[in-house]
Structure 1
Amino acid sequence: MSGDNLTVVVEFILLGFSDLPKLQGFLFGVFLSIYLCILIGNGLLIIITKTDPGLQTPMYFFLRNFSFLEICYTSVTIPRMLADLWTQKGTISFIACAVQTCFLYILGAAECLLLTVMAYDRYVAICKPLYYPLIMNHKVCVQLIVVSWLIGIPILIEETYQIFSLNFCGSKKLNHIFCDAPPLIELACGETYEIEISIHVAALIFAITPFLLILISYVKIITTIVRLPSTSGRSKAFSTCSSHLMVVGLFFGSGSIVYLQPKSSHSAGSVKVFALFYTTVTPMLNPLIYSLRNKDVIAALRKLLPKLIRS
């Protein structure tokens, strides 16, 4: 990254919410509260689904892993955001920016794949109930989790390497709340067409394809539910699926607006809002969505909370 008109970039400046200087303290309090809610809410889901005997099923095994993933995913961006709001500096080294981007993509891909696995679990449970214990045995569940976590690592490390191998010139200011490909590409000089195509291919593999598989699963699930003779059976089936559908809609909906929206229609403010939605708001709502709409989780929570208070 050197030449007559190029300089070696050693750091970037995340603008974040610098356009709201009077609200820095307020925003710090808001995001600290959100982060604590994410840690406590998802932490409780992990404890409940691990310790309660009635929740030792594949569905809650996947939910436990999903909650842990949400904690990891938000920990990539929110602590850094809180530090920037506290210090009001926003500088991030080149290496730290690359590491943040890499982990954001690896964990984001894992989340997309894990949501797909959870949809497949519901498909087998509702469409093939007699074969469910055989198909979704513990070994298969563990293999699905391992694949979801690890399959994207080599591809997304290479993707991150390509992004940070670009030549950066001029301004070092990233008009975003964390390091991400779209604002980084805007700072690059020279041709970026190939890397943009590469990013869209990665999005096709790790976001669009999982979303389509989830969609196909739920078309088959809804078709099966509608045919159920019992009203209570239909209600219970819809109840177990609706929570997952809400999380899928929030995560994929906000993410697609950021990554698939044409450049010409990009607005820095709207991109920040939707980026906050899939990296912060959805992980915060996840425990509420799964607990408030699930009688088993509520019952387990009622048994656990008195023990936690006494201890």
Structure 2
Amino acid sequence: MEYTRLGRSGLSVSRLVLGTMNFGPETSETDSHAVMDSAHEHGINFFDTADVYGARPAGGVTEQIIGRWFERGGGRRDKTVLATKVYLPTGEWPNNGGLSARHIMGACESSLRRLQTDHIDLYQMHHIDRNTPWEEIWEAFTVLRQQGKVLYFGSSNFAGWHIAQAQEAARTRHFLGLVSEQSIYNLMNRWIELEVLPAARDYGIGVIAWSPLNAGVLGGVLRKQLDGRSARGSSGRSVATVAEHRETIAAYEKLCALIGVDPAHVGLAWLLAQDGVTGPIIGPRTIEQVESSVRALDVRLDAGTLAELDELFPPPGLNGAKPAPEAYAW
């Protein structure tokens, strides 16, 4: 396993992040525990969850599954860099969501109880809260930090401007601020390259990529369909994506076959090669999927392959040859 620092912090995390959103709804508790054990066996120490995962609107199921896994001992908690999230509604009453001080403090206590731990390593804002001032948010986070209940803070689904606002507000409090931003990022969805990724690099914030294979579309969906195998990209909203971009996806899979690398591994390896990316989130439902994802760490894409991928999936908003954020300038 390869490790890196999370943003400008001193925290060491694996280049692959174990996503747990399937734990409960798609993967049984027994299988979820086996997946987490396998992740540790392969050196994955960075686990990502959220207080709403498992069931809506109350959530909490996935955190409880992780908590019972920690309870089994064997150094499971000590070996894990644990990340969870706050913001989305966990009930129907007015203060059951958002980033008010009241909700942050209550949600943190609930997550700690479900996770059966005394601290959260990385507490992430699941979304920007446009109704709560940064002074209130950072004050609540400062208290959690002083109490030893949270060590680091991150954001998710923020725009570049939101990151700037958050960091400048933290600076006035002489607070470390954000160390990570979790955003959708893959070959087919590169919008964060315009503002989010440049802002994160400038502020020393590590980027965690969710949906690295665009809901399975970049995982060899066409080949699996031809082989008669079940493919995640063949259901839900992915069906429309495949229909709209079939020619490009076919060319992508042809390129992967030419270089002899599984499409899913190419998609992950491309993200691992991007400057500022801490690592992609993998969401395995089985031990076999954990083992497959780990093999992506051995893939090194040469300059020619990276250029071909850029031709198939062009960066957004380019102004001539200028990279973002200068793509906006003239």
TM range (shorter): under 0.3
The TM-score normalised by the length of structure 1 is 0.26
Larger Rg: 1
Q: Which has the higher helix share?
A: 1
The TM-score normalised by the length of structure 2 is 0.25
